[in-house]
């Protein structure tokens, strides 16, 4: 990975005016990031300060080493179900190790240039698990919003819903009022004062109302998690063993995959807003570096945050300095104002995450794919339901497998091998399939038009279609492969079976073959087996060659007249000439 341009190309033409813009956008995004960082940490099952540590360290490192000039990194909502599940199953210490391993995986993904492969994850899969995560996040905040007591948190969505129902009678009216004030403030601020961070405004107003009007009536960060320390995080290397790596490699891979997807999606959004272009492989490596170092300071996994990145751009950012400043701003606020954060009610944090869940749910995209009623709709629903009722790992695996199966089915449906002949009613004698009938089909030359990719999903049906020709043992089999864009080894295997079986009694000709299929045939040796002289650029040349290799004796008396030359080969032309002579002599 080349980083020689970190302090050169990315900052060319940088000026004092540019710094002022970065300073302003960095401060705004830093202020926004603080409540989000704490909320994401709490929802992930860890202390709120760990979210702040992540915002500081990962935010600075992602801006410094990432591949997007405007990316803002930190904890995000998409990670909440995964991280919470890891904490519940393996504990916080192992979460740090899983994050570290995920960072290593992301670095390797960047080094081996796998950034472009992320785009092959189908959109219905990403929409499905994103919407599922949004539902989990939203449902997970209902208890805090209502101020329920005695609620135990579980990995299972249904068990969490059951906890809410069982403990609904413990609802705290003060918590509902606090959460309602925060929610209304967020919505009104976003609508009428878009320049003011809605989450921060709602958090401050609802907290002040709770402190002055009904103190000690609602659960706060301090009463639940203890005071937030106003000090730098402590550096500590987690105990990483081979057994722990084996135990956590699965969760780490999911963290890396989801982190890679979200960071690259965020970078693409930034590109669209500012007409720039990110480096996807460098972005993955930058995310990897951040996730390797952040756990050493107690931070949780981080990735690119789409909403904060968009806010960064809208506030005038011109370089990665804005992301670095955002991290420094959060650090200064931590050192100066951490004790005050302990008084924030949990009910004030809940609406912030509820709004995040609503915004990330991609409801319009979800409905758009669903109403198509296609295979993509099925992939979307399966991924969504498994994300909510099982877990993200199973959901992504099932979604991808189902998408691959449906894609293979669609591709196999595209492959058609149909018998064809020249249409003499057409001026240029165009080769067409619909004119082949029982009474109009050359017994000695079989022409097949092959359309679509010839791969494992349809290769066997191709063989069966062509093998039917062998019953009457034609002299020539011409395969028109100009519309075959792809040939895999399975397709080559069945093609070779056709070629070798037919070669026992006839000649195989191939016309119009594309570079990729030809290259496969050359690598497997089938090209040489058929013979270079039997490959033609155009079908017309192949037909002319075929006509010179016919058994003329079998043409005598033939009434099919599949080719213009057939009137001569069948003797029809000589019969007509004799009739003309007889008529003229009489």
Tell me, yes or no, whether 351 and 248 share the same domain. yes
Q: Quickly list DSSP for 119-173.
A: GGS-HHHHHHHHHHHHHHHHHHTHHHHHT-SSPPP-S-HHHHHHHHHHTGGG--H
Note whether 286 and 64 are within 8 A (CB): yes
Tell me, yes or no, whether 61 and 130 share the same domain. yes
In a domain, 183, yes or no: yes
Note whether 111 and 99 are within 8 A (CB): no
Q: How many domains does the chain have?
A: 2
- Enumerate the H helices of 214-305 as residue ranges: 221-225, 242-274, 280-293
Range among 17-26, 193-202, 377-386 with highest mean pLDDT value: 377-386
Burial class (CB in 10 A: 0-12, 13-18, 19+), 171: middle
- What range defines the domain where residue 514 resides? 415-436+447-550
Tell me, yes or no, whether 349 and 428 share the same domain. no
Interacting residues of 56 by C-beta distance below 8 A, sequence separation 6+: 327, 328, 330, 331, 334
Confidence band for 168, pLDDT divided at 50, 70 and 90 = very high
Tell me, yes or no, whether 283 and 350 share the same domain. yes
Tell me, yes or no, whether 421 and 539 share the same domain. yes
For residue 73, list its beta bridge partners.
304
Q: How many other CB atoms are there within 10 angstroms of residue 162's CB atom?
A: 12
In a domain, 586, yes or no: no
In a domain, 574, yes or no: no
d(CA 168, CA 578): 104
Look at residues 321, 344, 360 and tell me which one is the last residue of a structural domain.
360
- Start-to-end Cα distance in the chain: 94
pLDDT at 4: 47
Tell me, yes or no, whether 26 and 165 share the same domain. yes
In a domain, 398, yes or no: no
Please tell me the pTM assigned to this model. Answer: 0.79
Note whether 128 and 361 are within 8 A (CB): no
Residue bearing the bigger pLDDT, 16 or 95: 95
Tell me, yes or no, whether 425 and 331 share the same domain. no
Question: Where in 431-560 does DSSP place strands (E)?
Answer: 431-432, 445-451, 476-483, 507-511, 535-536
Of 449, 453, 451, give the one whose Cα is nearest residue 432: 449
Three-class DSSP category at 549: coil
Three-class DSSP category at 247: helix
Look at residues 360, 379, 403 and tell me which one is the last residue of a structural domain.
360
Note whether 233 and 53 are within 8 A (CB): yes
pLDDT at 3: 45
Of 252, 228, 287, 248, give the one whose Cα is nearest residue 53: 228
In a domain, 285, yes or no: yes
Instruction: Compute φ and ψ for 288, nearest 5 degrees.
Output: -65, -45
Tell me, yes or no, whether 420 and 325 share the same domain. no
In a domain, 451, yes or no: yes
d(CA 291, CA 304): 12
Look at residues 360, 378, 402 and tell me which one is the last residue of a structural domain.
360
In tens, the pLDDT along 473-501 reads: 788 999 999 999 999 999 999 999 999 99
Confidence band for 1, pLDDT divided at 50, 70 and 90 = very low
Q: Quickly list DSSP for 334-384.
A: HHHHHHHHTT-BHHHHHHHHHHHHHHHT-HHHHHHHHTT-SHHHHHHHHHH
Q: What distance separates the 2 farthest-apart alpha carbons in the chain?
A: 127
In a domain, 393, yes or no: no
Tell me, yes or no, whether 240 and 150 share the same domain. yes
Tell me, yes or no, whether 343 and 421 share the same domain. no
In a domain, 579, yes or no: no
In tens, the pLDDT along 422-431 reads: 887 776 778 8
pLDDT at 9: 59
Q: What is the CATH number of the domain that holds 457?
A: 3.30.750.24
Determine the length of the chain: 586
d(CA 296, CA 294): 5
Tell me, yes or no, whether 356 and 490 share the same domain. no
């Amino acid at each position: 990975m080349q980083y020689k341009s970190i302090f050169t190309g990315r900052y060319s033409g940088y000026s004092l005016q540019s710094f002022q813009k970065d300073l302003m956008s960095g401060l705004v995004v830093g202020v926004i990031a603080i409540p989000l960082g704490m909320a994401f940490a709490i929802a992930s099952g860890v202390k709120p300060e760990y979210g702040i540590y992540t915002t500081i360290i990962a935010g600075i490192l992602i801006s410094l080493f990432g591949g997007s000039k405007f990316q803002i990194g930190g904890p995000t909502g998409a990670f909440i179900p995964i991280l919470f599940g890891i904490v519940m199953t393996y504990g916080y210490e192992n979460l740090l190790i899983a994050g570290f391993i995920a960072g290593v995986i992301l670095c390797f993904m960047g080094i081996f240039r796998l950034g472009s492969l992320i785009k092959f994850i189908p959109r219905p899969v990403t929409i499905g698990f994103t919407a599922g995560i949004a539902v989990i996040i939203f449902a997970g905040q209902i208890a805090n919003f209502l101020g329920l007591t005695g609620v135990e948190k579980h990995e299972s969505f249904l068990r969490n819903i059951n906890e809410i129902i069982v403990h609904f009678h413990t609802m705290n009216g003060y918590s509902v009022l606090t959460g309602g004030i925060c929610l209304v403030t967020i919505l009104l601020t976003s609508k009428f004062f878009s320049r003011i961070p809605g989450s921060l405004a709602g958090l401050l107003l609802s907290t002040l109302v709770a402190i002055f009007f009904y103190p000690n009536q609602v659960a706060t960060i301090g009463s639940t998690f203890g005071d937030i320390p106003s000090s730098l995080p402590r550096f500590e290397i987690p105990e990483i063993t081979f057994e722990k790596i084996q135990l956590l490699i699965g969760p780490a891979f999911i963290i890396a995959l989801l982190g890679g997807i979200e960071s690259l999606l965020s970078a693409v959004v930034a590109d669209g807003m500012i007409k720039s272009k990110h480096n996807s492989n460098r972005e993955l490596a930058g995310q990897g570096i951040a996730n390797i170092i952040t756990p050493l300071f107690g931070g949780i996994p981080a990735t690119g945050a789409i909403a904060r990145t968009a806010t960064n751009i809208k506030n005038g950012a011109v370089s990665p300095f804005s992301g670095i400043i955002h991290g420094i701003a959060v650090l200064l606020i931590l050192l100066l104002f951490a004790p005050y954060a302990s008084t924030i009610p949990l009910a004030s944090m809940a609406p912030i995450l509820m709004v995040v869940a609503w915004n990330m749910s991609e409801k319009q995209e979800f409905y758009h794919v669903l109403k198509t009623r296609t295979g993509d709709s099925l992939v979307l629903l399966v991924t969504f339901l498994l994300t909510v009722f099982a877990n993200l790992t199973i959901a992504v695996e099932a979604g991808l497998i189902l998408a691959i199966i449906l894609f293979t089915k669609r591709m196999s449906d595209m492959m058609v091998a149909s018998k064809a002949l020249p249409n003499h009613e057409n001026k240029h004698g165009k080769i067409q399939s619909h004119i082949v009938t029982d009474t109009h089909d050359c017994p000695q030359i079989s022409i097949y038009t092959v359309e679509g990719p010839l791969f494992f999903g349809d290769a066997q049906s191709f063989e069966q279609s062509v093998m039917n020709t062998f019953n009457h043992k034609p002299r020539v089999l011409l395969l028109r492969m100009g519309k075959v864009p792809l040939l895999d080894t399975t397709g080559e295997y069945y093609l070779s079976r056709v070629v070798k079986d037919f070669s026992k009694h006839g000649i195989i000709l191939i016309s119009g073959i594309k570079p990729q299929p030809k290259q496969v045939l050359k690598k497997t040796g089938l090209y040489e087996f058929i013979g270079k002289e039997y490959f033609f650029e155009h079908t017309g040349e192949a037909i002319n060659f075929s006509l010179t290799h016919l058994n003329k004796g079998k043409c005598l008396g033939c009434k099919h007249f599949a080719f213009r030359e057939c009137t001569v080969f069948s003797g029809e032309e000589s019969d007509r000439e004799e009739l003309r002579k007889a008529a003229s002599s009489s």
